[in-house]
Amino acid sequence: MGALVSATLELRPRARFDMIDVNQLLLQQGSPVPTYPRALYCSYHTTAGYLEQSLCARMGYQPEAVARFVRSFQRLFPPEAPYLHDRMELRGELSEEERLREPANADSHLAFISSGLKNCVTYLHPSRNPVFFIDLDGVHRGGARLRKTTVVGYTREELVVQERVSIPVSHHAVDSINLKDPKVGFFRHVEELISRHHIEAGRLDVALAPEERHAGLTVNEYETLLMKHDLREVLRDPFRFMVEKGKHILQDPLAVPEKTRSYAAYDLIHMFNELMEALRISRSALERLIVRATGGAASRFLRLRKQVSFLVAPAVAEPPASIVQGRYQSPILVQWHLGDVTSRTLVITLTRLT
């Protein structure tokens, strides 16, 4: 098999929640990408991406099981709940015209983060199974979105460099840090590293050091209300938005807090039933998860990852960058622990693809 190959697809979702088998589309177009021993799949969006191969394999690559898995997290974040991200009058970074066009999609962002959807994943022997591009916000009041994904087929991986980097964090018990912020200096350092090693095609992995606890990584839109309020509320109380959305169905205002929390717990049990059925986990394990989840700490069961990845391809990325990313994508470090932590250690791994 020859040198690596790549293909970029434009996708048009058919519904707000949609799953598109990218491999099937590539093979229909005669692309050899899925026939390579390895393939890297890159999404440019913050409400649409991929699940890791190990997770899809656990579900037998069955679209029904994958959909059930993702929808179990969507139930935590119902549309039109009181998300500050969706209050356009508070979004000072938007113009009046942009406020009219901007979709109310905080629920999709939070479901993306909590379910462990990723902007960039690597699959082994991809042609043997479907690879689903999962869209949580593909259609809104303005119509269907145009989505974009790049897939690189390659044969070998070569470790180029690995190093540890310290990132200062705030004193807040629950907080998020935008690693793309120029003040942090993280992206500038990574771009210099890529340039120094002359990477033409590769993968950048950013992981929390093994000793780090009570923290996770995601790639999403770093919008202040979303990250500093809505996500923080979720980490403090996983029932928060499920409870608020359910209040209007109750007639007794004095019983709202207690009743809605009971309904939320009941709904959460159903959510976990769907989740465990999709993952083929035993009933006893399900019960343990419910006990842990209803203890109040969302961080115990949300699938915040310890590692995120990016495609490195100067020929594809917008100059002068070499890291392939969408307009609104930022790597985000999330922490939820009150203590004396003043910094977090990240492990950067740069891999050449050939």
pTM more than 0.75: yes
Q: What is the DSSP letter of 318?
A: P
> What pairing do the DSSP bridges indicate for beta strands 202-208 and 307-312?
antiparallel
CB atoms within 10 A of CB 302: 23
Q: Give yes or no for residue 251 having a pLDDT over 50.
A: no
- The token duo for 188 is 């500038």
Q: Give yes or no for residue 296 having a pLDDT over 70.
A: no
| Closest residue by Cα to residue 167 from 206, 196, 204 | 206
With pLDDT > 70 as the criterion, what percentage of the chain qualifies? 81
Q: Give yes or no for residue 281 having a pLDDT over 70.
A: no
Q: Is 256 helix (H, G, I), strand (E, B) or coil?
A: helix
Domains: count for the chain: 1
Q: Is 132 helix (H, G, I), strand (E, B) or coil?
A: strand
In degrees rounded to 5, what are phi and psi of residue 314? -55, -30
Q: Domain span at residue 247?
A: 5-353
What are the tens digits of pLDDT across the range 84-128?
999 999 998 899 999 988 999 999 999 999 999 999 999 999 999
Q: Are 264 and 239 in contact (CB under 8 A)?
A: yes
CATH number at residue 80: 2.60.120.460
What are the tens digits of pLDDT across the range 307-337?
999 999 988 888 877 999 999 999 999 988 7
List b or e across 159-191, with b for residues whose CB sees 16 or more CB atoms inside 10 angstroms. ebeeeebeeebeeeebbbbbbbeeeeebbeebb
Q: Is 178 helix (H, G, I), strand (E, B) or coil?
A: strand
